[in-house]
Chain A
């Protein structure tokens, strides 16, 4: 079947494909940021972590021929970046918003600096699961190429939601995020909880970066990330600090990103770029609707300085 033979149906299909392909990094950074923010800290530096993860995963995959080892190393690098952020923010009188932006710059700079030799060579790719075998239509088959990390991301989102709600560990994280006083009263070390939560959040962002360099777009260069790490913060607010809603929001952001090219392919070119603003306008509208001067955002962790 020729390209465009699907006519108008090409648009939802392209959006589905976009949601599956583009959303994976969003899923990982947003559930990572979600965990971090639930513990009462904001990390604006995940963009730097994401790019560092992408670079280190690519470098390791290139050197060892094993993309999965690359993913593991990316998670480790992300963990270290998260721990660095948490360690610095833990010092008294240090501003976590500014530190996050500083680490964003540091991470992207360091990734481009160390990653210079990896720009040309081609590293092995992470494989995909072919869920479209039943179809004869190439677009459908292509849309249903599902990467393992996408599946892992979905599992992680549900697992995190469950763990935050039902485990002792999850309650401790939420306690640290809701009220430092209450946490101290029962003898929880808020600093340590946030250190762990921020580090794991960083590790997730590192894996998101590995997806970028090892699957889609599947190469390493300086323009690899289109700001997925920065958008994580907006995504988490949009999802009102719930990991499963983070998953839906990531799919939505991924699909929204695919609207414009899909519409263009069927001849709609008006307002093309305005669509890309839709998720942010929606997030802002949501905040305006649910905030009031007396009450902070619904679902927001009480100790999260940035939304007080």
Chain B
């Protein structure tokens, strides 16, 4: 009971503290009314059907990239190569789309999704394998792999896959309008949201109800015990990293096949890095990722309205996101200390 109460009270406190800090910044520096700003933000994020669609569109890639950190985290691994997996997934997806441009849309879309997930999966599995068999720290190797991924993207976008007509922003050839995956019927939200929610549900079911999930829990708790039980730890590490990487790769494919229509530098705009934080905020729980991503997507979506109405720089919402991240991460320390323990012994 106390634990459940804490799980609500601690993040609420952190959110409240963030709102106060951000409100002070607004009132003192920007000289706007904080309450009016928050009301506008609510309008811009969740106030209308239009803003809801904007919010959900922004949440979709965050949900998918968050899984890239969340799944390996279940084994005690901290992977931060989400951005890289998204980028290689996007480029692989675009390449597959270009290669299959003559085929029927369904074939092309499947090819793009598979190529993106395989590339993203391999990318993060590489970090897992290096950790498992060479002892290379997965946090740092996955960060390095992100830089390598971005350089590779630039290489393909500027070189072998470049569409010569893309002058200002070098891009690959377009995958073609027919092969775009489009939006959920009746909305402007693309299918990436559905992919993300399905992926989270799937991850939750596997972690919660299958032997695999149980084994991962054992490994995350104590790898030595797991080895003594005869679990093949290496295989689980590879699987978790590959699954997480595949999710981030799929996010890249969605960016290409639902938003930009081609691969270019717009892939590396920070969805991967934000995904790391979403995963930490959700405490690496697959189902908690969805509301956290929606909340952050909503804050991002409200930026435009703040700029139009209050003349605030669009970076204002990034500041709020940053404050929230830091406050919630710092609030981890309050667990077990916030409420007085009643009669423990």
Contact = CB atoms under 8 A, between A and B. Distances in A.
B231 interface: no
B144 interface: yes
A184 interface: no
Band of interface residues on A: 35 or more
A296 B134 CA distance: 10
Given A97-B80, A233-B143, A277 B130 contact: no
A94 B332 contact: yes
Contact of B147 (A95, A234, A295): A234
Interface string B120-153: 0000000000101111110111011101100110
B329 A98 contact: yes
Interface string A78-98: 000000000010011111011
Interface in A38-79: 44, 48
A293 B155 CA distance: 33
B294 to A, nearest CB: 18
A102 B322 contact: yes
A105 B323 CA distance: 9
A283 B144 contact: yes
A180 interface: no
B241 to A, nearest CB: 16
B310 interface: no
A105 B29 CA distance: 19
Contacts of A169: none
A105 B322 contact: yes
Interface residues of B, number: 47
Which label, helix, strand, loop or mixed, suits the secondary structure of the A interface?
helix
B266 to A, nearest CB: 14
B108 interface: no
A2 interface: no
B321 interface: yes
B312 to A, nearest CB: 8
Given A94-B332, A288-B134, A105 B151 contact: no
Contact of A101 (B136, B276, B315): B276
Contact of B159 (A102, A104, A273, A280): A273
B27 to A, nearest CB: 14
A101 B333 contact: no
A270 B143 CA distance: 26
B151 A274 contact: yes
Given A103-B326, A272-B158, A277 B152 contact: yes
Contact of A277 (B136, B151, B315, B319): B151
A61 to B, nearest CB: 20
B271 interface: no
A261 to B, nearest CB: 13
A293 B144 CA distance: 19
B313 A102 contact: no
A131 interface: no
A105 B274 contact: yes
14 contacts: A91-B333, A98-B276, A98-B325, A102-B325, A105-B322, A108-B322, A116-B315, A222-B315, A284-B141, A284-B145, A293-B133, A295-B135, A307-B140, A308-B137
